Structure 1
Amino acid sequence: MENKELYRPLEVCVSDMEHWDRRPLVYHFFEIVQILEGSGVRRTNLNDFPYEKGSIFLFTPVDCRGFKALTPTRFCSIRFSEVFLGQYKSETDRARIVQWLKQLEHIFSHHNRFQQLLVKDAGDCKLITSLINNVVQEYEQKQAYHEENLQHLITLLLNILARNAADHTAATTGPDTEPLINRMLLHVRQHISDAEKLRVDYLAAHFNLSANYVGEYFRKLTGESLQHYITQYKINMVQQRLAFSTLTISQIAGELGFTDESHLGRQFRKHSGVSPLEYRKNARLVGS
């Protein structure tokens, strides 16, 4: 699968689907997509599902997604990294928002991803539409305090969506109905810094699979090897932190479970072609 990065903490666009890259790509950021007009098919993690006017989709980092329009389609896309919502000055606020984002990703990952997000409450539907319109307006006009307003608007939007995702999950899924691959992907994301919990023998015991079948099952459902997914997800998290945070490379290494800064550097250069410092410098030049 090809990858797509986000070189700014936030991007908002309203566009026709013909401008969307039709190849499914792995996007390394959160994204909210609302279909404004049209119908077609969306592809999420190698599965195809219909969309129509009013559909809203929630995507987490490393979801592979794409769209194929069957009738002329117009959409609004709000893309953001965890850094966008974590730009707070105090450590207390930063810790709070990081924990909130983890909970949010947990909800998004556990809602029934084989359907569109169902927002049944009429008041919530109107509120979501109004919030998205306000986000687009603030982003395009860039008046005074627009960054602060965008942060608050998107936080409110995510709270409303998360509430509906949580309600939908409670009504339609449970421990026995949630697809195994979803639970396995969520486990990898939650424990990406803990190598022991990503070992094949641990995953086999945790998900009640044969150790010999874990890798085969993962590749069959995702189209890539388990080890490649783990490595790529970790490298993408490093890229996000290099591009958008002020963490040192040593701090990033410690956070994401690398042995030390040297270990991170070797792995990062192997998969990205440049050193962490070069990547940080290039990313900031692109974003400036």
Structure 2
Amino acid sequence: MEIRNIHQPFELDILEVSSYTAKSHKNTFFEMIFVLEGEGIQIVNEHKLPYSADKLFLVFPEDKHSFEVKTLTKFLFIRFNHSYLKNQSKEWIQKIEYIFHNHNHLPGCMLKTVTDKPLIRALALGLICENENRNPNHHEVITQLINTIITIAARNITLLNASGLISTPSKDSVSLLNYIHENIYSPECLRAETIADQFNISATYISEYFKKHTGESLQQYITLYKVKLLETRLLYTQMRLSEICDEFGFTDLSHMNKTFKKYKGVSPTEYRKANGIE
């Protein structure tokens, strides 16, 4: 299987084809694909779903991906790698965590809100214009446009979760999971008593209720989600370990190191080194 790389933080590409079956491939980068026009089939990890104009797709590194084009189709590919993400702010990284950790890696448009489709189209056309004209500060403008598209995609992932359109263990668990995701940086909001009060459930029953609807204990889910986000910080930012520790409300560095090593088998420092990050 073909493996594709990019050698710069981000890359834009336009492909216009009338009859084409893309070879199945995997990327070493993230890829957002906007359909400017045309119809066909999108295939992700052997799952198939029709596509048409104004659809926005997200393909993760290592996803097996291809298209079957039925009518004249014009794609805009927005590709960005780990180094691109590392240069973004901590606040922006938090916004896109819904994409990294809640997207289901299946084919289909990410846009739930109908009014976001013309907005994404306008942003896509702006990207094409800036990329072609190369006006002063075009690099900065392109970066802002890409970040806006990613932020809108993250918002739609949130809305899909809230509506129950993304498959979860139970519809009853959706609001609970969203609450945890939204308050993961506020330890005081994640106490069992606080969550129980938020959802009008007995404090003595909240843990049993959560496990019944998700299959995991409340504290285990919170801890595993934090570990996933820690991986994001270690891979995609240059934050110091002390900054990450403070952000997630760990007691101290020893507590964070112990938690991470318990689930990943190595310390945060060792994890960065193993991934070529010094």
* TM superposition score category, shorter chain reference: 0.5 to 0.7
Contact 1:84 1:151 in 2 (8 A): no
Q: Please identify the structure whose Cα radius of gyration is greater.
A: 2
Q: Deviations over 1:183-202 (max 9, x none)?
A: xxx99976868675368xxx
1:120 is displaced (CA, Å) by 3.0
| Structure 2: gaps of 5 or more residues | 175-214, 216-224, 235-259
In the aligned structure 1, how far is the partner of 2:269 from the partner of 2:4?
Answer: 23
Contact 1:191 1:198 in 2 (8 A): no
Map 1:76-225 onto structure 2 (within 5 A): 76-87=76-87, 93=89, 95-107=90-102, 109-110=103-104, 113-122=106-115, 124-171=116-163, 172-173=165-166, 175-176=168-169, 197=263
Tell me which residue corresponds to 1:41. 41
Q: TM-score normalized by structure 2?
A: 0.58
Moved over 2 A (4+): 17-21, 82-88, 95-104, 112-122, 186-199, 252-258
- 1:58 partner letter: L
Aligned length, in residue pairs:
196
Find the residue that maps to 2:6 and give its secondary structure: coil
Q: Summarize the Cα distance change of 1:145–1:113 in structure 2 as closer, same or farther, 3 Å threshold.
A: same
The root-mean-square deviation of aligned C-alpha atoms, in Å, is 3.6
Of 243, 250, 254 in structure 1, the residue corresponding to residue 270 of structure 2 is 254
Q: Summarize the Cα distance change of 1:11–1:19 in structure 2 as closer, same or farther, 3 Å threshold.
A: farther
Contact 2:96 2:150 in 1 (8 A): no
Percent of aligned pairs with the same residue? 24
1:87 is displaced (CA, Å) by 2.8
Contact 1:10 1:81 in 2 (8 A): yes
Find the residue that maps to 2:127 and give its secondary structure: helix
- 1:161 partner letter: A
Tell me which residue corresponds to 1:2. 2
Tell me which residue corresponds to 1:280. none
Tell me which residue corresponds to 2:250. none
Contact 1:13 1:78 in 2 (8 A): yes
Find the residue that maps to 1:41 and give its secondary structure: strand
In the aligned structure 1, how far is the partner of 2:128 from the partner of 2:228?
Answer: 30
In the aligned structure 2, how far is the partner of 1:255 from the partner of 1:98?
Answer: 19
Contact 1:21 1:66 in 2 (8 A): yes
In the aligned structure 1, how far is the partner of 2:78 from the partner of 2:145?
Answer: 12
Q: Summarize the Cα distance change of 1:85–1:160 in structure 2 as closer, same or farther, 3 Å threshold.
A: same
In the aligned structure 2, how far is the partner of 1:29 from the partner of 1:38?
Answer: 25
- 2:272 partner letter: L
1:147 is displaced (CA, Å) by 1.2
- 1:32 partner letter: M
Contact 2:27 2:61 in 1 (8 A): yes
| Structure 1: gaps of 5 or more residues | 181-185, 200-251, 259-263, 266-275, 277-288
Q: Which has the higher helix share?
A: 1
Contact 1:37 1:54 in 2 (8 A): yes
1:167 is displaced (CA, Å) by 0.7
